[in-house]
Structure 1
Amino acid sequence: MNAIPRLSGDDRRAQIIEAVTPAVLEHGAAITSRQLAEAAGVAEGTLFKAFGDKESLLVALAEHHMTDDDAIAEFTSDSLEELVATLVVVLVERMRFMFQLVVALGPIAQRVAEEHREVFDRSKLWLAAHFEPFGAELRVPPLVAAEVLRTLAWSAASGWGEHSPVSSVDDILQVLLHGIVRSEAAAAPAAPSPAGVPASASENQKA
């Protein structure tokens, strides 16, 4: 087992959290202090000294990941298509991890998520800001585009609890950019004019 280098304060706590996260995702809130210590490469006493007790460590772990603003990196895009393609991949990966965390920690993660709801709300504003430069190409306001993107990304990440989710990242990308209606439908031929009425007359009535 690889020992954690000697650090102090928040850096040491953060490094321990990163080290034990895979074990927590595997075992959930039922993970033992011994398993946590083994995953971190430290003695159990070191964990207690850093966090107080196991639940405090799990709460700190949930807060660390749920409030991690660096999890979504900054980037620039030259087109709306490139922006959406990048955001879909980033968000689905991020939300898939968060979904696993919530399932693993249950009430602990749910409580932390509620206490830090402003972080989730801030992410929507962050997304909307990336849509702003392409506002003229959008059918909806940037904030609505951000909300739709988050909703579809969460759906793909969670799979609604199904073992074999139907929608993929590419499906979400296609729906966001083109909708769920085939483009041919938009160019479908007009309905025939009523019997005895010239086509030109019908067009005039529509006008």
Structure 2
Amino acid sequence: MSECSLTYTPLVSRATPMSPEERRQAIIAATLPVLLERGPEISTREIARAAGVAEGTIFRAFETKHDLIHATIHAALSPDAALAELAALPTDQSLSDRVAAVLDVLVANTARTRALFATLFGSRDGGPPPHPGKPPGHPNDARLRILAGAGEALAPYTDQLRISPAAAARILSALAFTASFGTAQPELDDSHRLADLVLRGIAEGNQ
């Protein structure tokens, strides 16, 4: 047997390349944190660094930086991620744990939306110019969809509630809005303590 026949060249498997849509979504996901930190003045070089791609890759996925920013805004304001989280909650949760989990989703979604609007409207140039394409849906549409999703998440516990799941979802949404600002009050900063407050009320003992 010759020495050459003993030579082994390992086969290096290549990662499956992303589809164009997968690449777009990956760039959008990497853009959001940078957009929230730096505002619309971010450069495509910063975005490329965050996404781990060459700057030219961005312009193969989006015609302009403003197209990318608007796509990122659309994605951030979409209720789809929050709805998926609500739908994926464990089915064996107690009512208290379910209320806390719903609050976690609502608080995170509200905080992200508030941060995005604060970044855009607080920017030096007033944010990106109007987009020539179809405008995003009204923010109230997303809010109503999330309220419906929260109500559906509470529906299995209907027999344990004094009000309808839809009404309970609205109350939790109002509390989530307050909690999304962050407070120095432990009862409002911890979802489980807030859930206990919702379920037991603010009265001391059995009033």
Tell me whether the two structures share a fold, i.e. TM-score over 0.5.
yes
Aligned to 2:149: 126
- Residues in 1 aligned to 2:47 and 2:107: alpha-carbon distance in whole angstroms: 28
Please state how far the C-alpha of 1:143 moved relative to its aligned partner. Answer: 0.9
> Given the alignment of the two structures, is residue 57 of structure 1 paired with residue 57 of structure 2, yes or no?
no
**Higher alpha-carbon Rg:** 1
Greater RCO between the two (CA within 8 Å, min separation 6)? 2
Please state how far the C-alpha of 1:11 moved relative to its aligned partner. Answer: 0.8
Aligned to 2:203: 181
- Residues in 2 aligned to 1:98 and 1:17: alpha-carbon distance in whole angstroms: 16
Aligned to 2:113: 98
Cα displacement string for residues 82-141 of structure 1 (whole angstroms, at most 9, x for unaligned residues): 2112212232233323332232233769x9775354232111111112222322322222
The number of equivalent residue pairs is 177
The two structures have a TM-score, normalised by structure 1, of 0.71
- Residues in 2 aligned to 1:77 and 1:98: alpha-carbon distance in whole angstroms: 30
Please, which runs of 5 or more residues in structure 2 have no aligned partner?
1-15
Please state how far the C-alpha of 1:67 moved relative to its aligned partner. Answer: 2.0
Paired letter, 1:177:
L
- Residues in 2 aligned to 1:78 and 1:48: alpha-carbon distance in whole angstroms: 46
Please state how far the C-alpha of 1:165 moved relative to its aligned partner. Answer: 4.4
- Residues in 2 aligned to 1:77 and 1:144: alpha-carbon distance in whole angstroms: 22
Identity, % of aligned positions: 31
Q: How does 1:134-153 map to 2 (within 5 A)?
A: 134-153=157-176
Please state how far the C-alpha of 1:150 moved relative to its aligned partner. Answer: 1.1
The two structures have a TM-score, normalised by structure 2, of 0.71
Cα displacement string for residues 173-206 of structure 1 (whole angstroms, at most 9, x for unaligned residues): 232111222235x1xxxxxxxxxxxxxxxxxxxx
Asked whether the 8 Å contact 1:25–1:104 carries over to 2, the reply is yes
The structure 2 residue matched to 1:168, chosen from 189, 195, 204, is 189
Aligned to 1:28: 39
- Residues in 1 aligned to 2:51 and 2:197: alpha-carbon distance in whole angstroms: 42
Paired letter, 2:49:
E
Please state how far the C-alpha of 1:6 moved relative to its aligned partner. Answer: 4.5
